A and B are shown apart, each in its own frame.
Chain A
Amino acid sequence: MQPGLVQLTLTVNGERRAVTAPLHHTLLEVLREELGLTGTKHGCELGECGTCTVLVDGRPVLSCLEIPAALEGREITTIEGMESAAGLHPLQQAFAELGAAQCGYCTPGFLLAGKALIDEKPAPNRAEIVEALGGNLCRCTGYLKIYEAVELAAARMRGGRVEATPEALYGGA
């Protein structure tokens, strides 16, 4: 093996993947460059914007700040792992219905941060949603549709056939 390279075994989206990567590559770079999982985006590479958020053992982390060698044996979930055999995750479905993705670049990070929240708190209130997503920057939406989508998805995951409210779809003043 060339100097400066490291061999790792990472568990990504439920699959064990053997990777040879430059030693200094962050988890973000390993995901994108070595594993070809480009759904995780570069936003600032300084831990300031939340764009590169992925889940490690179900908790949101900033992949631009994570050293992959420390993550062997941990469960890493990226946006590519959100959809299941049953189809879209309820959050993805709610984001689509409510238009919570605009340019889409921050969206994978929001979806994963939102998933971690709902998995931990099945009935989050608005303040808890704001808090949980506070580290993720979005420049298109003003965040409202994202909150509403998290609320809608959480309600559906608790059971029941919940439809989007007209306020969420059309905005009520």
Chain B
Amino acid sequence: MERIEGIAKLTGAERYVDDLPAEGALWGMTVRSPAPRGRIREVRFDPSVDWSRFVVVDHRDVPGANEVLLIEPDQPVLATDRVRHVHEPVVLLAHPSRDAVRQAARAVEVVVGPEEPYLDFALPPRPAQIQRGDDNVMKRIEVRKGDVEAALARAARIVEGEYRTGAQEHVYIETQGMLAWEDAGVLFIKGSLQCPYYVHKAALRALGRDADAVRIVQAPTGGGFGGKEEYPSMIGLHAALLALKAGRPVKIVYDRGEDMEATTKRHPAIVRHRTGVNADGRLIAQDIDVRMDGGAYVTLSPVVLSRGVIHAAGPYSCDNVRIVGHAVMTNSPPHGAFRGFGAPQTHFANERHMDVVAATVGMDAIEFRRRNMIGDGDSTATGQVIADGVDRAALLGRAVELSGWREKEAAHARLARSDPWIRRGMGVACFHHGAGFTGGGEVMLASRLDVAGLPDGRVEVRSANIEMGQGTLTIFTQIASARLGLDPSMVTIAEADTGRVPNSGPTVASRTAMVVGRLVEEACDELRARLGLGPDVVGDSLTQALVRWHAERPGAELVGEAKYEPPPGVRWDDESYTGDAYAAYGWAAYVAEVEVDLRTYAARVIDFVAVQDVGTVLNPTLARGQVQGGVAQGIGWALMEECRWKDGAMENAELTNYIIPTSDDLPPLRVHFEETPWPGGPLGAKGLGELPIDGPAPAVVNAIARAVGVDPREIPLTPERLMALIEDDRARHARIA
């Protein structure tokens, strides 16, 4: 089935927030902190500007609690007396002219009395840098299985390694933006966002309003990748504060530089491994330490850390595992949700480390993985017994075979003998990704979803889950249409408007198709039951029954409701961090082929095979797009996407110096699905969206390591970093010679 909203997007008809007409609207802008930490001494308004022509808002205009409510209430909507990061919002301005408000924002100066910032999370904070507890740690998590120390004591070999990953900017092509207005006592906030009810909850708290006096509406969203999970609450509140003070609609749309500097990025991470292997090349101990830079406020860091920790031991079977994770508060802009949500960082470390361990013990990297691959009946680090029928070793075998690994390795060896400058190599990564919220998260969310039967015989899916390019509208249409035997044209998806749709939870965590899609099926069943019909009544008979029901009850609403229940047997204990961390996992094996030019030190990916099992594939075209797009982002993160920081601010907040892959930077991305249906998901499907970002970086870096014989431990592996590694290696060999 083709994308539901495809034609609107292909003809320019789709209206994103920047395109929405707003009669009499003002443009809003944000004045931000110039310093990473300190007390606000003064806010100076340039006296040459006539400020009476502007709406000006500061923290005193926040009617409720001055906090952007999420996990902890520590982040202010607008700074009061102190700032904790560069670009922290301090003052808001609005004016009918976009140009005028842009100029005016430069005429306001926030004067900060500086205090010592904590900017390098790799080092322990000095006493003057401590701002939270006695060590700046915002969250600590520990997973324990078996006895790691005893197993290390009897290991044939112990292999240690430290791995680092950098921040990554989302670069959704549509920058963030929100429109707010008040109509008959109801405040509307509409814009580019992933989680309508997150913005709703934050608005009730900060604006001191009743639930029905705020409506959050999603506008078509031009990419999110997690970047529009939490930050839209901030922008939505800013637009609302300006609109309420102005008594007119206010639109805030960030320009690219502001979006890159001020909004969230992927958490930088340092992961240390100490691994015990026995004489047969089996893992007997994994001791893992994960440290992430959370930035200046808690935002989502505890749950990003949690997902990172839970995935840190990889898709392998090991009886003795200890994983300790810390998310640390620093004075960077808060790091946040980004596709993968902590798992790409720990999978990079683990899969690079697996190559290092295999090389150290003298085993083939593929055979070492195959021998340790988790099988049905084995348990993960949290003690979750895997039993979904997926043949994970076969995924690895398929990826290796499709990539032509053996023949290509032989050709690469010949090339290295004949060409003075060009080197090629193959690299592999095996990984998994849990779909849905972690642990008891889905139970706590208690998602609800409605499917309404309309008087004209169509059905309407009412959910808070949004389309941002990944295909929600199409997938929900397919699921409802399959469940009720209806032509897709008889299914409509309601706009995600908190005034009209129940809270089916956020559009994050690879949960929409799997968890919420299952609710679509259940609500369809409930709708049919409310008509007094059995599950065998489908298609035209169902449509006629709907029309008849409404004809007999004019004006009445017919709604099938669904509420989340965990699949049978899924148990999690948050105290001990044990149990079923996720209801289901997607599994994958990716192979990269790279080419390195020893004159420029540039590495290019020249071929890529992505093999995965995510249960039934609901829509092959959409699924392939998700995998190819995720792989592209992963290759960017591995090789070129580097946030450069100076005094706590992103220095390269432009697309000319923060480089994402262009059409010329990517190889053929060959995608293959094995399909083992998962009975807990709609039509047998598991979640897919995040899985493809977890594997490319380690596969690519492993391939570079094999191509040129160096041992990279940090990404992005830019030409500069690769040059340093190769030159160090040459110098070492020269000394030995």
Within 8 A of A (CB), among B603-621: 609-611, 620-621
B48 in contact (CB, < 8 A): no
Interface residues contributed by chain A, number (CB under 8 Å) = 60
- Could you tell me if B628 and A141 are in contact, using CB atoms closer than 8 angstroms? yes
Contact B10 A88 (CB under 8 A): yes
A80 adjacent to B12 (CB under 8 Å): yes
- Given the interface contacts A42-B18, A46-B655, A103-B468, does A139 sit within 8 Å of B629 by beta carbon? yes
Q: Which residues of A134-173 are within 8 A (CB) of B?
A: 134-147, 169-173
CB-nearest residue of chain B relative to A102?
A: B469
Contact indicator A49/B671 (Cβ below 8 Å): no
Contacts of A138 in B (CB 8 A): 173
Query: In the assembly, what is the distance between CA of A170 and CA of B610, in Å?
Result: 13
Candidates A24, A92, A170; contact of B621 at CB < 8 Å:
A170
Chain B CB count within 10 A is highest, among A39, A42, A173, for A173
Interface of A with B (CB < 8 Å)?
Answer: 22, 24, 32, 37-46, 48-49, 51, 78-80, 82-83, 88, 92, 95-99, 101-108, 111, 129-131, 133-147, 169-173
Question: In the complex, are the beta carbons of B222 and A103 less than 8 A apart?
Answer: yes
Q: Per a CB cutoff under 8 Å, which of B2, B655, B662 touches A134?
A: B662
Do A92 and B469 touch (CB < 8 A)?
A: no
Q: Nearest Cβ in chain A — how far from B461, in angstroms? A: 20
Are A169 and B10 in contact, with the CB atoms below 8 A? no
Query: Known pairs A32-B19, A51-B173, A143-B628. 9 more at Cβ < 8 A?
Result: A44-B256, A44-B655, A129-B663, A139-B171, A139-B629, A140-B223, A143-B632, A145-B628, A169-B621
B191 shortest CB reach to chain A, Å: 14
Contact between B223 and A83 (Cβ–Cβ < 8 Å)? no
List the B side residues contacting A49 at CB < 8 Å. 173, 256, 655
How far is A39 from B5 in the complex, measured between Cα atoms in Å?
A: 15
At the interface, yes or no: B494 with Cβ under 8 Å from chain A? Answer: no
Residues on the A chain within 8 Å of B655, using CB: 44, 46, 48-49, 137
Given A43-B173, A46-B655, A139-B225, decide whether A83 and B11 contact each other with a Cβ distance below 8 A: yes
Contacts of A169 in B (CB 8 A): 620-621
Q: Could you tell me the distance between the alpha carbons of A41 and B222 in the complex, rounded to whole angstroms?
A: 10
Cβ-defined contact, B99 with A142, below 8 A: no
Which one of A32, A44, A144 contacts B628 once the chains associate, using CB atoms below 8 Å?
A144
Q: Which of A32, A40, A130 has the most CB of B within 10 A?
A: A130
Question: B662 to chain A: which residues have CB within 8 Å?
Answer: 134-135, 137
Instruction: Evaluate whether A78 and B12 lie within 8 angstroms (CB atoms) in the complex, with A49-B655, A130-B663 already known.
Output: yes
Nearest-neighbor residue (CB-CB) of A24 within chain B = B99
How many B residues, CB 8 Å from partner? Answer: 65
Report yes or no: B13 in contact with A46, Cβ–Cβ below 8 A: no
- B346 in contact (CB, < 8 A): no
The answer on a CB contact under 8 Å between A48 and B469 is no
Contact B629 A96 (CB under 8 A): no
Chain B residues within an 8 Å CB radius of A106:
173
Given A88-B10, A99-B2: A142 and B632 interface contact (C-beta under 8 Å): yes
A83 CA to B12 CA, complexed, in Å: 10
Find B174's partner among A41, A144, A147, A173 (CB 8 Å cutoff).
A41
Q: Tell me whether chain A's interface is mostly helix, strand or loop, or mixed.
A: loop
B8, B12, B656: the one contacting A38 at CB < 8 Å is B12
Neighbour of B10 across the interface among A32, A111, A147, CB < 8 A: A111
> B670 and A101: CB pair below 8 A?
no
Residues of A within 8 A of B625 (CB): 99, 102, 140-142, 145
Please encode chain B, from 120 to 162, with 1 for each CB lying within 8 Å of some chain A CB and 0 for all others. Answer: 0000000000000000000000000000000000000000000
Q: Which residues of B contact A98 (CB under 8 A)?
A: 621
A117 to B572, CA, bound (A): 56
**Cβ contact within 8 Å between B256 and A38:** no
Contact A44 B222 (CB under 8 A): no
Find out whether the CB atom of B172 lies under 8 angstroms from the CB atom of A144: no
Q: Is the CB of B663 within 8 A of A147?
A: yes
CB–CB A142/B173 < 8 A? no
- The answer, yes or no, to whether B631 is at the interface (CB within 8 Å) is yes
Task: List B residues 13-29 near A (Cβ within 8 Å).
Answer: 13-16, 18-19
Q: Mark B646-679, 1 if CB is under 8 A from A, else 0.
A: 0000000011100011111010111110000000
On chain A, the residues within 8 Å of B633 by CB distance are 139
Asked if B622 lies at the interface with its beta carbon under 8 angstroms from chain A, I say yes
Does B220 belong to the interface (CB within 8 Å)? yes
Cα A101 to Cα B222 in complex, Å, equals: 11
Minimal Cβ-Cβ distance residue in A for B624: A171
Given contacts A38-B19, A98-B621, contact A79 B11 (CB under 8 A): yes
Q: Within 8 Å of chain A (Cβ to Cβ): is B255? A: yes
**How many angstroms between the C-alpha atoms of A140 and B224 in the bound complex?**
9
Given contacts A40-B12, A44-B654, A79-B12, contact A134 B664 (CB under 8 A): yes
| Closest CB in chain A relative to B614 CB, distance in Å | 13
Residues A172 and B670 in contact, CB atoms below 8 Å apart: yes
Alpha-carbon distance A88/B468, docked complex (angstroms): 23
